[in-house]
Amino acid sequence: MNAQMMIALITPYKEDMSIDEEALKTIIHHCQKQGSDGFVVCGTTGESCFLKDEEKLKILEIVLSCVKSEEVWMGIGTNCTESTLNFLDKIKDYPITGVMAVVPYYVKPSQMGLYEHFSKIAEATDKQVMIYNVPKRCSCALEAETLVKLANKYSNIQAYKHADNDLTHIADILASTDHLRIYSGEDEQLLEGLEVGMNGIISVIGHIYGDEISKLILESQCGIKNQNLINRIKHAANCIMNEGNPSGIKAACSMMGLCNNTLRLPLTCVSESAREQINICLKNDKKI
């Protein structure tokens, strides 16, 4: 399977903070033109913790109405197993590729607790499951041994999103499972992830830099190391993510006329200095 570029989709809002359905369609079509292989809906970048269940379902319906052959993964994760399973039941009849469940945040469960949490999810669905490990946001990490144990017991645990700069155990995980696909969740570490065997990326800056990311993936598979392209992507990721996600990518998308620069509290827009740096980056890369 060729490495993929999937988009961690933002949730655009109108000025009154309702879902901007037309902007969402515009963003999806823009990403499709840049070669996206799929969308991860209502994840961290999509501000999932601020969305009501009915809003999540509406967003999912819009995405499904727009996709062609792309994969669609729906974020279901919360820090409560029961709540996660309840929402999983609500989307059981939607024609999605699979579901993405984040490591439960804030409560800091043990590895046994994480194993039981993801086991319950895998047992409750016949859809593919993607486990999302993002220690810097959750203050808790799924250890490689626990992931391997889960993947080898449950055949529908098919994917793993690794949003961490520590790539030490990626090769070992791949060698210890026969079906698990691993995706980077760090745009700055895309090349490094590919070099240790990852299957692609779930990208934030791919909303805008999808062409460049697709090209980097293709060239990497051909053994080409395009340092200029690598530097462009790293610089763009650094500028856009400097004051957090999704604040930075929403600022960038608004500069391109894709959506309003609106977020739900407690998230706020990036500072004027960060906005200026993003603006300069986009201008230099001829994005605006």
Reading the block at residue 15, the tokens are 């000025």
DSSP 244-284: -TTHHHHHHHHHTTSS-----TT--PPPHHHHHHHHHHHHH
Q: Are 60 and 99 in contact (CB under 8 A)?
A: no
Distance CA 274, CA 218 (A): 31
Burial group, residue 145, by CB count within 10 angstroms (0-12, 13-18, 19+): middle
The angle subtended at Cα 33 by Cα 130 and Cα 229, nearest 5°, is 80
Distance CA 198, CA 147 (A): 15
Q: Are 190 and 233 in contact (CB under 8 A)?
A: yes
Of all helices (H) and strands (E), which one includes residue 24? helix 21-33
Beta strands in the chain, from DSSP E residues, in sequence order: 4-8, 38-41, 71-75, 98-102, 128-133, 157-162, 181-184, 200-203
Q: Are 135 and 75 in contact (CB under 8 A)?
A: no
Residues forming a β-bridge with 31 = none
Q: Which of 211, 185, 215 lies closest to 198 in space, CA to CA?
A: 185
Q: Annotated active-site positions, please? A: 132, 161
